[in-house]
Structure 1
Amino acid sequence: MNEKKTTIIETAIHLFAEKGYFSTSIQEIASEAGISKGAFYLHFESKDKLLIDIYRYYYEKMSTLLDRIEQKKLTPRRAFQTQIEFLFAEVSKHKEFIIMHFQEQVLPISHEVRQFVYEKKLEHYNWQKRSLLSIYGQEAERYIPDLILLFEGLSHSLFKLLLLTKHPLSPKKAATYLLRRLDNLAEGLVAGAKSRSSPNRVFNS
């Protein structure tokens, strides 16, 4: 992606987070990016097409960087923790995109955007599943949905806290906290199954 297109995308993210998608005009985006309205249309057919490219730009950037960590020679637990730390660090640097993303229900989500976001969420789910299986082993496989439910709930709550608080949240502390809570749940679920008691699960096998 060329530099000018990246500038337009990052400018739009800032304006959408600040003013909202519908209240931001193409002219405002162009002016803030230091280009003419005609130059905007050289890169994007419409504001809706720009929105699609915003999602692609952010998610593909995150996926590439997470893959680089996964390819390093780290233990499964260390790799997962490093990836979580990275995600929290990126949220701190890209608060405006996250704010825009939390406003997803008021965005004009086209079929193309919806399909793209669905595919990225599926990739995210598979990353979590693969990572958790590597950490806790096959005996925890039936409990992976429960572990992911806890991880998603806690991480989203921490993301929101990070957006709202004026005090910085340490990515390392956040990742350590999340992993310890996953350890607690995995230990309880596996121990409950071994003792033949009925584990307190949300999902049935």
Structure 2
Amino acid sequence: MSLLKQRIMDSAMRFFSEKGYVSTSIQDIANDCGIAKPSLYKFFSSKEDLLIEVYAFKIQDMYDQAEAIKANITLSPKDRFIRETLHQLEYFTELKFSIEENQVQSVQEKGKFISFCHCLRARQLNYYKDCLLTVYGGQIEACIWDLVAVYHGMMKEFTQFPNFVNQPLNLESAAIFIVARMEDMVVGILKTKLTPILQPSVIVEYVQHGLEGTPVPAAKNIEDLFRNLRSTVDELMVPITRKTELNEVAGLLQEETDKDQPKRMLIRTMLEFLQTQHELKNIVGQLDKLLG
């Protein structure tokens, strides 16, 4: 990488952090680097391209360092997991501006950055999955995505919450705490043999699409939710007549949604009926959102 390109990226990172992406202009960055805008455009065709490359460079650096930690055979799997967790906490704490989904629209509604975010999230989930399988083994395979969700949630909150309360965080203590809690959860899940909440097939498909930079098509999501709805109804501890009733309504709902001109009021009525069975509220709620 040329020294000028590196200087542009360093300047962009600083401006995006201090002013925010939207408030930063290409002119700001060019002035900071002491160059004319046309010179900057020789390296980056747009501010969005600059943002993507800045993130891609930082994230690749994070993964390269993580690989070095993984390769350290002098550490036990648990100690490596703690080091990897600490490394990520340090990285995300240092990275002052985020690309959370609620901020993506301010970049561009349907731009390249959206695809980049899908790919970034998928890569991160895959990385977390590999970390957990490495330290806890194949015994957690069935519930791996539930554990990934919990780990991801803790990592996110421990890097963001201190900013809300304006209090610094002891990152090393946080890393040890997170790994200890994951160990507690693994022991608990294996002991109680809980049924996985997140269906592996659904998450794997989400990750595969994400690595390609695309979201899972809405139609495929809806199909998967209907399949999940029917299997959940079959597992309910309710009288046969109630199961039959719920299955019939679920079938009618799917038939109606497949029509070219579905009746919205009828769909709303059937969704509300299915939600009267509390075990189905989560699935039906997701269907409700996708059906609009």
When the two structures are superposed, what TM-score results if normalisation uses the length of structure 2? 0.61
Which structure has more relative contact order (CA 8 Å, sep 6+)? It is: 1
Partner of 1:157: 157
Counterpart Cα distance in 1 of 2:155 and 2:66: 16
Aligned partners of 1:21 and 1:107 also within 8 Å: yes
Aligned mate of 2:99, from 95, 101, 104: 101
Q: 1:203 aligns with which of 191, 198, 202?
A: 198
One-letter amino acid of the structure 1 residue matched with residue 53 of structure 2: D
Deviates more, 1:151-160 or 1:20-29: 20-29
Judge conservation of contact 2:9–2:54 (CA < 8 Å) in 1.
Answer: yes
Residue matched to 1:175: 175
TM-superposed deviation, 1:161: 1.9
Superposed, which structure 2 residues align to 1:38-187 within 5 Å? 38-73=38-73, 74-95=75-96, 99-102=97-100, 103-108=103-108, 111-187=111-187
Bigger shift: 161-170 or 171-180? 161-170
Structure with max Cα Rg: 2
Cα distance, 1:65 vs structure 2: 1.2
**Identity level (%):** 27
Question: For 2:66 and 2:81, how far apart are their aligned partners in 1?
Answer: 9
1:147 deviation in Å?
0.9
**Aligned-partner Cα distance in 1 for 2:112–2:104:** 14
What amino acid is the match of 1:92? T
CA drift of 1:182 comes to: 0.8
1:43 aligned counterpart, secondary structure: coil
Alignment length (residue pairs): 197
Distance 1:121 1:132 in 2: 17
Contact kept in structure 2, 1:76 and 1:131, CA below 8 Å: no
User: In 2, distance between residues paired with 1:204 and 1:44?
Assistant: 40
Three-state SS of the structure 1 residue aligned to 2:39 is helix
Secondary structure of 1:106's counterpart equals coil
Q: Runs ≥4 in structure 1, deviation > 4 angstroms?
A: none
User: How many Å apart are 1:16 and its aligned residue?
Assistant: 2.4
**SS class of match (2:99):** helix
- CA-atom RMSD, angstroms? 2.2
Unpaired stretches in structure 2, ≥5 consecutive residues: 201-292
